[in-house]
Amino acid sequence: MSEHQGDANSTRAPNNSAFSGPVFVILAAMMVTLVVVIVLGNALVILAFKVDKSLRRQCNYYFLNLAISDFLVGAFCIPVYIPYTLTGRWTLGRGLCKLWLVIDYLLCSASVFNIVLISYDRFLSVTRAVSYRARQGMTDQVIMKMAAVWVLAFVLYGPAIIFWELAVGPSRVPKEECFAEFYYTWYFLLSASMLEFFSPFISVAFFNLSIYLSIRRRRILHSREARPRRAPGGAASAQRESIPLSHTWGLGVKLALRSSSLLSPSHSHSSSPTVGKPDPLAGGRALSHPSRLSRDRKIAKSLAVIVCVFAICWAPYTLLMIIRAACRGRCIQHHWYEVTFWLLWLNSAINPFLYPLCHSSFRRAFSRILCPRRRSTQPSTDLPVGH
């Protein structure tokens, strides 16, 4: 994504030669293609929120926040960087260099914090379903969390980029180069990387593990609960009633499911159970419980995919950044830095494709935008589906 750019640029200080003709053209074409993919892909996500009102739910607003940061990477950071990386010379002046670095690091950090926020929101939706649903209408809290991501992202690197010279001394950045003053300050980079990558990654891993364990426990409870229903006649009902409430509906999510089954149409239209007829509560519970488990498994899988992509794209850069600073850039060749921070930018291009693959609501919204005629011929397939 962004911050890496500033860092990688400084490693090229001893090597300002431009690329040869064919290599220059190929690299330029690849970079422009990446810009187009990032801008169009994330613009599609942002437009989906305008077109499809069903997307305007708490969990999806965090995806919108991530799409905005990724869009700005493709719209500003990479286009400014392309001439620099192809020619090896920064020609835009020191002021724009500072601005670019601040925005670069800001967007990079915001992307990471947005992924943490998405993971935390999914964690609450699965493990704290009752309280999570109760807060769905609190848009003020959602906006505050989204704003907090940008504030924290700026605080992490912004003040250091702007005020480093005032605190440490005159700039050591060559005139035709553009990189942060703390580029070789390993203890600062190590501290910042703890906040920017290691702590977020550990948090996200914890949220995913908690989601997995929660779903696993509920599947075990559901399998135990399902066995008595296959018993003949009244024995099934008697065995089911003998199961303690704390055992059968021990999780907050199950309490919510039980409440929904109590309010189901099959229950409201049945004034009293009749001998020989199935228990309506049992039917509602049997339908809602597997449905909820299936939905939460999809949440866990989609989140796991996004997190794995994040780890693959971010871990190499973070590790090399710390190693590079410790050895003053002499222990690792420059082209490895280039590869690692382009991996970060690649993450901004991949995210928009993960949305439709992992979320049916985004698939419907993208279909409405890209295939409007199909929507008009098949209106029933585009109706919003409750989640």
The DSSP result for 29-41, as a single string, is: HHHHHHHHHHHHH
Q: What is the pTM of this model?
A: 0.72
Mean pLDDT value across residues 16-45:
86
| Packed helices 280-326 and 252-262: angle between N→C axes, nearest 10 degrees | 150
Residue 385 pLDDT greater than 50, yes or no? no
Band of pLDDT at residue 103, cut at 50, 70 and 90? very high
Mean pLDDT value across residues 242-262:
40
CA distances in angstroms from 105 to 11, 289, 372, listed in the order given: 17, 44, 38
Q: CA torsion angle for 191, 196, 202, 203 (degrees, to 10)?
A: 120
Band of pLDDT at residue 247, cut at 50, 70 and 90? very low
What end-to-end distance do the CA atoms of the chain give, in Å? Answer: 32
Residue 153: both structure tokens together: 């992202």
Residue 215 pLDDT greater than 90, yes or no? no
Mean pLDDT value across residues 346-364:
79
**Proportion of the chain above pLDDT 70, given as a percent:** 71
Residue 33 pLDDT greater than 90, yes or no? yes
Least reliable range by pLDDT among 39-43, 222-226, 383-387: 383-387
Top-ranked range on mean pLDDT: pick from 208-217, 298-307, 374-383: 208-217
Residue 263 pLDDT greater than 50, yes or no? no
Q: What is the pLDDT of residue 228?
A: 57
Least reliable range by pLDDT among 193-207, 212-226, 277-291: 277-291
Residue 242 pLDDT greater than 50, yes or no? no
Mean pLDDT value across residues 361-379:
72
Q: Specify whether the CB–CB gap between 121 and 133 falls below 8 A.
A: no
Mean pLDDT value across residues 247-275:
39
Residue 250 pLDDT greater than 60, yes or no? no
Residue 302: both structure tokens together: 């989609």
| Packed helices 334-358 and 360-370: angle between N→C axes, nearest 10 degrees | 90
Count of Cβ atoms closer than 10 Å to residue 133 Cβ:
14
| Angle, alpha carbons 365-370-373 (nearest 5°) | 100
The closest alpha carbon to 116, from 161, 153, 143, belongs to 153
φ/ψ of 14, rounded to 5, equals -75, -5
The CATH fold of domain 3-216+289-382: Rhopdopsin 7-helix transmembrane proteins (1.20.1070)
The closest alpha carbon to 359, from 320, 301, 312, belongs to 301
Mean pLDDT value across residues 236-253:
42
Residues 6+ apart with CB under 8 A from 44: 352, 366, 369, 370
Residue 288 pLDDT greater than 50, yes or no? no
Which comes out higher in pLDDT, residue 383 or 358?
A: 358
Distance CA 101, CA 154 (A): 11
Domain ranges of the chain: 3-216+289-382
Band of pLDDT at residue 291, cut at 50, 70 and 90? low
Q: Strand locations in 182-237, DSSP E?
A: none
Mean pLDDT value across residues 110-128:
88
Residues 6+ apart with CB under 8 A from 82: 28, 31, 32, 35
One-letter amino acid of 237: S
Least reliable range by pLDDT among 50-64, 108-122, 317-331: 317-331
Band of pLDDT at residue 290, cut at 50, 70 and 90? low
Q: What is the pLDDT of residue 283?
A: 38
One-letter amino acid of 111: S
**C-alpha atoms less than 13 angstroms from C-alpha of 39 in its C-beta half-sphere:** 12
Residue 338 pLDDT greater than 70, yes or no? yes
Which comes out higher in pLDDT, residue 197 or 284?
A: 197
User: What is the chain's percent helix, strand, coil content, to nearest 5?
Assistant: 80, 0, 20
Least reliable range by pLDDT among 16-25, 148-157, 165-174, 177-186: 16-25
Q: What is the pLDDT of residue 318?
A: 84
Task: Name the average pLDDT for the chain.
Answer: 74
